[in-house]
Amino acid sequence: MNMSIYKNIKIFITVGILFVSGITSIYSADAEQSVSDNSLLRASANEITYNINDLEVFSGRSMQEIGDKYSDARYIAPAYNDRDYTTWYEELPSAVYPYNAGKISSVAHSEMTAMTNFYRWLVGCDPVNELSYDEDTLPLQTGALVRNFSWQHIVADSQKPADMSDEIWQKGAKCDHNILAKGYTPVGAISAWMSEGYDYELETWKSIGHRSILMNHKLKEIAFGYCDTVAIGKGNTSRGNMGLPFAAYPVPGYMPSNLIRPQNCAWSLQLNDDLFEFEDIEDLKINITNLSTGEKWTRCSDDETLIYSFNHIAFVQPGGFNDDAQYTDSYQVEVTGIHDIENDAPARLVYTVNFFDMNDYIKIHVSSVDTFRKYMLGPDMMSDENLRRVAAILPKEIEITADNGQKFTVGIKGEWQLDTNNKRFVAAGDLSDAPSRLSDPFSFLNEISIPYDKKTDICAIYDTLDIMPSTVKAGEKVSLYAYRTNMSSDTVHIFKLKRNSDGNFTADKVFDSNEVSSSGDEVVEGYEIENASGSDSGEYISVYFENSWLKNEYITPIMVSNAVSTLDVEHLQYDVNGDGLENIQDVIFMKEIIYGSSSCTPSADVNNDGRVNVFDLSMIKDYILSILG
C-alpha cells in the first residue's frame, strides 16, 4: 500500500501562546508526525479506514491544555471586559442622529483575533494575523453601523434612516467584508459564528458560511469591526495546503461542550482535497453513535440532513444533549462515500468527539456581585452605635458570578464598616477560599456595599421585637416574637447581639422562620425559650422581608425592628453551666474548667474575686452538699 502521501502530512502543534498583535506567532510547523499503519490506517478488502483521533494533534491534547489555551485567548487583553461595553471602543459609536461609526478598541480587536485563533488551533489550522488596525477596521466600523438598519450583507437602500447622510450610508453599504453577527458581544460573536448552521427545534438549515471562513486553512489575515449590536469581519486568504486529512467541528478528541449550542450548531467537516474527494453529495453518508447510550443517527442528502455548502460537508447535529443544552457524552462519527485519491480506493473516515465541561479548567474573572437589599431602620436605630449593631447581622458571605456564568459563594474580609455619609455598610470580598482560577481584575470585590435608610411609613413604628417577659428567673419560659407591619412578608430572622471590647458587635442568628414548619402559608414570627438561663441574657433585634422576591428585578427592602430588645435572666450564683439549675452537674462542669477540658464562663467566678480557681470549686461543692442534705 502506498503511504507516501500520508507520511508527508504535516501535523501542526502549538508550542506556545496564541498570536498577539505585534508579536510573532509561536506556533511551530517543525513538529511532524509520521502516520503509520498502526496509528491512522486500517484496511479491509475494499475500503481504507482512517481513525483521525490517532493523530497526535488530537490524541496528545488534555482537557487542561484546552482550558489553558482558551484562557490565554480569552484574557489576552486584560483591559477588555466582555460585560463592559466601554472597553469595546476607543471611540463610542452612535446609532442615532448624529450618526457615528465609532472605533473598536485595540483590546477588543485583539480579543476577537485571539479567540479566532483559539478555534483555529482547536480544529488544527494555523493562526491568522491581524490586518491593519486603522486601515482595515475603520471601514468595517461604518459597515457595521449601516447594518444595524439593514441586516444583510447587501443592504437595501430603502432601509436608510431619513436623517442619515447618503455619504455614510453608501460608505457602509460598500464595505468589503465576509462575516456578520448581530446581538452578541465582540468575543461572543466569534463563538456565535462557530456555533451556527441548523435550528434543531425548527428543523431548518442556516448558513455555515461564517464558520467555514474562520476554519478556512487558507485564511491568513483578519480584521474586525463592531458598532452598537453588529460585529463584522473581513478575512484575506492566500495559497496554502491543509495540514490535516480534514478539519471538523466539533473536533476529534476532547471538545468543550461549553462552546457548542446544540440547538443551533450543525456539525461539519472540510476535506483535504489533495487527499480525498467525492463524486456526488448523494454518495456521502454519515453515521453518528452516542457511545454512552448507543443511540444512532444517520445523515444523508436524501432527507436533507446532510448538505454541501462553502466547501464544507455539514450535517444535522445529533440529539442527546441535557436540559442545560450541553452535550455530556462521547460521539463516534463515521463518514463514508469518499474516495482516497492517492490509493484510488474507497475511504472511510472515523473520529470520536469526547465532550467535557471546560468550566473547571479555565481561568475566570468576577463579573458581578449580587445586589443587596436596603435595610430600613426606625429613627432610634440611626445612631452610630445602633448602626454598628445592624452591621453585625449583615451577611458574612456573598454570591458572585464569574464571566463564564458560574456562581460562587465567598466570605467578606473582616467586618462591615459604616459609611454614614452615603448611608451604607461597606466591606471587601475575600477570594482566599475560592478556586485559584478565579480572580477579580476589575475590582468588583474591593468595595461591596449594603444601603440603609430611615423608615418613612408611619405604620412602621409597629415593627418591634417583643420579649415577654423581659426579666425572668433562670429556668422560666420566655417568648420572642417579631411584629410585622407588612404582613405579605414571609421571612423572619432574630439575632442575639454581643458587644465586643472594641465597641463593635457580633451576632448569632437564633431564629429563622424558614427553618420552622408551619401550617399553610402562615409565617412563624418567633420562638420560645422553655428554660431560660444566663446565657440567654442580652440584646436582640429582628428583621423581616419578602424572601420569595429575592430573584426578581424589584426587591423589597429588609425591615429592621425599631429598637434593641433586652432579655435579663436573673442568674443563680452556683449555676455554672447555665442550665438554670444548681446541682451536681455544676460541680462536674467546674472541675472541667479547673482542669482545662471546658472553657471558662463568667458564672464560674462564684466568689466574685475576679479569678476562677479551686476556691470557687470548693464553694460550689459546699453549696450543693448543703441542699442535698
pLDDT per position as a tens digit, 332-377: 999 999 999 999 999 999 999 999 999 999 999 999 998 788 999 9
pLDDT value at position 468? 97
Q: Pick the last residue of a domain from 423, 454, 485.
A: 454
CATH code assigned at 466: 2.60.40.10
pLDDT higher than threshold 80 for residue 521:
no
Q: Pick the last residue of a domain from 307, 333, 361.
A: 361
Q: Are residues 474 and 511 in the same domain?
A: yes
pLDDT higher than threshold 50 for residue 552:
no
For the entire predicted model, the pTM comes to: 0.77
Q: Residue 422 and residue 406: Cα distance in Å, rounded?
A: 31
Instruction: For residue 457, report the phi and psi dihedrals to the nearest 5 degrees.
Output: -75, 125
Q: Are residues 343 and 379 in the same domain?
A: no
Residue 35 lies inside a defined structural domain of this protein: no
Q: Are residues 480 and 501 in the same domain?
A: yes
pLDDT value at position 574? 84
Q: Pick the last residue of a domain from 570, 596, 620.
A: 570
C-beta of residue 222 within 8 angstroms of C-beta of residue 130: yes
First to last CA, the chain: 108
- Residue 80 half-sphere exposure, CB side, CA atoms within 13 Å? 24
Q: Are residues 624 and 609 in the same domain?
A: yes
Q: Residue 92 and residue 87: Cα distance in Å, rounded?
A: 10
Q: What residues are paired with 408 via a beta bridge?
A: 400
Q: Are residues 498 and 588 in the same domain?
A: no
C-alpha cell at 182: 448581530
Instruction: Give the other-Cβ count within 10 Å of 302's Cβ.
Output: 11
If pLDDT is split at 50, 70 and 90, which confidence band does 36 have? very low
Paired sense of beta strands 526-529 and 478-482, if any: antiparallel
| Domain carrying residue 165 | 61-361
- Residue 476 half-sphere exposure, CB side, CA atoms within 13 Å? 16
How confident is the model over 410-422, as pLDDT tens digits?
A: 999 999 999 999 9
CATH code assigned at 337: 3.40.33.10
Q: For the chain, how many structural domains are there in total?
A: 4
Q: Are residues 380 and 417 in the same domain?
A: yes
Cβ burial, residue 161 (10 Å; 0-12/13-18/19+) = middle
